[in-house]
Chain A
Amino acid sequence: MPSSAYDPACLPDLLPLYYRRLFPFAQYYRWLNYGGVQKNYFQNREFSFTLKDDIYVRYQSFSSQSELEKEMQKMNPYKIDIGAVYSHRPNQHNTVKSGSFQALEKELVFDIDMTDYDDVRSCCSAADICSKCWTLMTIAIRILDRALRRDFGFHHLLWVYSGRRGVHCWVCDEAARKLSAAARSAVAEYLSLIKGGEETVKKVMLTDPIHPFIRESLEVVKHYFPQYALQDQNILGRKESEEKVLALVPEDVKKELQEIFQEERNPERRWRHIEVQAKKKQTAKKRQYFEKEIMLQYCYPRLDVNVSKGVNHLLKSPFSVHPKTGRISVPIDLTDVDKFDPFAVPTISLICEELDRPKADEDEAKSEDTKGKENEQDSTEKRKIRDYKRTSLAKYVKYFDQFLAGMADSWKGKLLKQSDLQKEF
């Protein structure tokens, strides 16, 4: 779907429209309230806004959904970040005795940024992305989602497109929200395989035995490697990228391969040669895993441990707008993760335009509403629901609804338990 040309200069006009008629406040509140199981969970949550002219305000908090709406419609933030749930209302933190104001809980979050892969992608660099390197995000999502579910036992994961060059993961399980900083950092380190910065050439070192987590991750990488690395990135097709790859193998192997590569030009066959060499080098005593190490160095997710570590770390909110690209930070439907196209994500200018231009599905939306007369919401609410439904934002909000429904069962259970306990007294 083509997106209307987005011009950052239009933001001051588009944002009010977005916050008045499109931002899914009901679902947003439903999420952050977590079923009302814990008292004041929403009220003690920190938000931070970046306003016009780069004015940044922290420690925003709201006592209800309607207060949140009113304030956001008043301030029209360019960016919204979500922080932790504190011991007191963040907007009153100055009145609290120093030392008592503490960050208590927050979702476990991960931030995958494409710039962290600049040393291994040749198609783009810095803030640019394209369909060729987006595969890296797909791989990251698959590996991390699997590990967070199967290894750590988490169930409620929300993956969100950051709006420009990466993805975020919000782990919303109760157990995740209660994790200490030490535990978060341990989880992040468990998931980290790439070590070293600018100065390091070889960033992945595998030792015996290979942990089951690494094995599983390798399976995912292997699935994408031929198309992504050998074809799209062409890591073995050009002289300079070929040298980068060979820098990752032991000296003696490198010499042999360089000779072979004089004759053999085809990337797939070159890779076969590397695999063969690796097998040859396996002795009973010392295992060589350089072909696996290469695959991992080029494809394995690179996450910023610092983002995940801190309980009070602020992260861009889902459904926030990216000021530079105009794209909405939408949730990613994992059932179709291979097909996710960041360039098809609606921009704020597109969806504002769609508000006026009736979409094909509007008839459907209209009939749904006439049926729902038992709905006690007032007419403005109804209009709001209708509004986002007639834009490209609809399917993303629907997916978010499904995500929330999945969590709602656990809230119901908790609330029942609480009321049972009360009856006993």
Chain B
Amino acid sequence: MQFPSKKPKAVTDLKAELYSQPLQFYGQPPLENISLSEFESFAVDRLKLLKTVENLGVSYVKLSDDYKKKLDNEIKTQNFPHGAGEQTEKRRKDHISHFILRLAYCQTEDLRRWFIQQEVDLFKYRFKELECGEKLKFLHKNNLQYNTISAEEKDNLREKLATSSYTASGVKVEEQDFYKVPFQDALDLVRTRKVYLEEGYVYIPHNEIVTIVLNDFRTRLSKALALTARSLPAVHSDERLQPLLTHLSHSYLGQDYSVQKNVGKISLEQIDSLAGKSFPLCMRQLHQTLRDQHHLRHGGRMQYGLFLKGIGLSLEQALQFWRMEFIRGKVDADKFDKAYAYSIRHMFGKEGKRADYTPYSCMKVILSNPPSQGDYHGCPFRHSDPELLKQKLQSYKVSPSGVSQILELVKGMHYQLACQKYFELTHNVEDTAFSLSHPNQYFTESQKVLGGGKDVKRETDTLQRPQENSAARGLTREPAGDESQHLAEITKNLETDFQDA
């Protein structure tokens, strides 16, 4: 993305041209100046939209009425192009926000895969909502020059075309145009045998063309992300952008449990039973390992230790807890006080640069620091071998049908949804009222369900409001003159939910 100082006339025309279309392939990056706050707010809004796309995609059949209604709602809420009427501003936002997120999501395979999946689903929804004429216009403007077959060829193939797809048999073959497309460009249709295939080409009726368009979109985006990744070092060297982009790719847009109002409400004796009842699987596993082996490696200590801080353990309690357990193992009291105690105090912000570290969100657990041999941290849904995960779930008395639902979600890489499903099954609830993005959130919600309720609820409400205020403050302050001050605001906000490794 470039920030040139002058806007040539040609570019303005191009923009007008681009924003007159309801849908685009994001082939050209935006060429204009924007403020840092617009940069952030556009990106955050699009991220919220894509998260909704992800959640809806698993909770509902894609493109069913419920799905469409809810997605439509979110598009309106986040102020993206929608329906009829003046759309230029929204289309501009759509254009810019897409490219910003490319920067944030191009860095790893996992991030790219997630981003591509949600963008493809969003695109599919929007393409299908286009009217027929608009669809054709889109195809032509975007050089999808697949050739239609001649009337003669159609005649020769008539019976074969009619018997190879539902749509073809419904509508007369004569009345429709058929496109001849290389089979590699229409894999979904080939896989399901919904189309006639001959000599490596598929013959697609006009109204099936959306599948092709989607494939094309996916391929283009995938290539673009690979290219973007290469130019990332240059972007990251801009210190205004680097923290923002890192925040975007690790953010989960919610509470971060950095401030605990319920310190001291948990006693050490409760932890064992809480682990079985209210801990998410990752923390349950870490707790179990700690009890069994009287030791955890660094990754596990960080992930579990910060979680315990988040549920309300005080520093004194934490020291007692870890010390007690480690002494049972190979560590003597002296060594513990010298080596491990320091790092626990560090976690609570009592050592070093005195930063009060925040408990890891699901995104962080899933994406950073994958466990290796001898580690027990990470997300079991992401990092455990499916067979082992299955056994573990079975040992925790999850029903066979529940286990297969969870494994299905894991296969689709919906790790947080798998954890949510685990929540539902272990708490005997139909539907979680929340969208899981943080292990401490799991704990809080679990306590709510189990009747631990009222106190905890009030606390989470009060915790939300200060968060929102500071976010709003950062966004509404325009960098009228003092950009450095504005930058300080933004980075201050980021630090509260910016998590140190």
Contact surface of A with B, Cβ cutoff 8 Å = 150-154, 175, 179-180, 182-183, 185-187, 189-190, 209-215
Contacts and interface: CB of A to CB of B under 8 A. Distances in A.
A180 B198 CA distance: 20
Interface in B169-210: 169, 183-184, 187-188, 190-193, 196-201
Given A153-B199, A153-B201, A190 B191 contact: yes
A214 B192 CA distance: 13
B87 interface: no
Given A175-B200, A190-B193, 4 more contacts: A153-B201, A190-B197, A211-B164, A212-B163
A interface, by DSSP: helix, strand, loop or mixed?
A: helix
Given A187-B190, A190-B193, A209-B162, A153 B200 contact: yes
Contacts of B201: 153
B197 A151 contact: yes
B197 A183 contact: no
A246 to B, nearest CB: 28
Contacts of A175: 184, 200
A294 B120 CA distance: 40
B198 A189 contact: no
Nearest to B193: A211
Contacts of B200: 151-154, 175
Contact of A186 (B163, B164, B187, B196): B187
B198 A150 contact: yes
Given A150-B199, A151-B198, A212 B191 contact: no
Given A151-B198, A153-B200, A212-B196, A185 B191 contact: yes
Contacts of B166: 209
Contact of B191 (A152, A186, A214): A186
A150 B183 CA distance: 13
B164 A183 contact: no
Contacts of A215: 163
Chain B, interface residues (CB within 8 Å), range: 20 to 34
B162 A183 contact: no
Nearest to A184: B187
Nearest to A153: B200
A214 B187 CA distance: 18
Contacts of A180: 184
B187 A182 contact: yes
B474 to A, nearest CB: 36
Contacts of B196: 211-212
Nearest to B194: A211
Contacts of A189: 191-192
A186 B190 contact: yes
Contacts of A179: 184
B8 to A, nearest CB: 35
Nearest to B219: A180
B62 to A, nearest CB: 19
Nearest to A185: B191
A175 B196 CA distance: 20
B160 interface: yes
B187 A209 contact: no
B197 A152 contact: yes
A209 B190 contact: no
B193 A183 contact: no
Contacts of B163: 209-212, 215
B193 A213 contact: yes
A397 to B, nearest CB: 30
Contacts of A153: 198-201
22 contacts: A150-B198, A150-B199, A151-B199, A152-B197, A153-B201, A175-B184, A175-B200, A180-B184, A183-B184, A183-B187, A186-B188, A187-B190, A189-B191, A190-B190, A190-B193, A209-B163, A209-B166, A211-B163, A212-B160, A212-B164, A212-B196, A214-B193
Nearest to B160: A212
Interface in B250-271: none
A246 B213 CA distance: 45
Contacts of B169: 209
Contacts of B162: 209
A215 B163 CA distance: 10
Contacts of A150: 198-199
A33 to B, nearest CB: 25
Contacts of A152: 183, 197, 199-200
A167 B340 CA distance: 60
A153 B162 CA distance: 21
A212 B166 CA distance: 13
Contacts of A212: 160, 163-164, 196
A212 B196 CA distance: 7
A189 B188 CA distance: 10
B180 to A, nearest CB: 12
Contacts of B198: 150-151, 153
Contacts of B188: 186
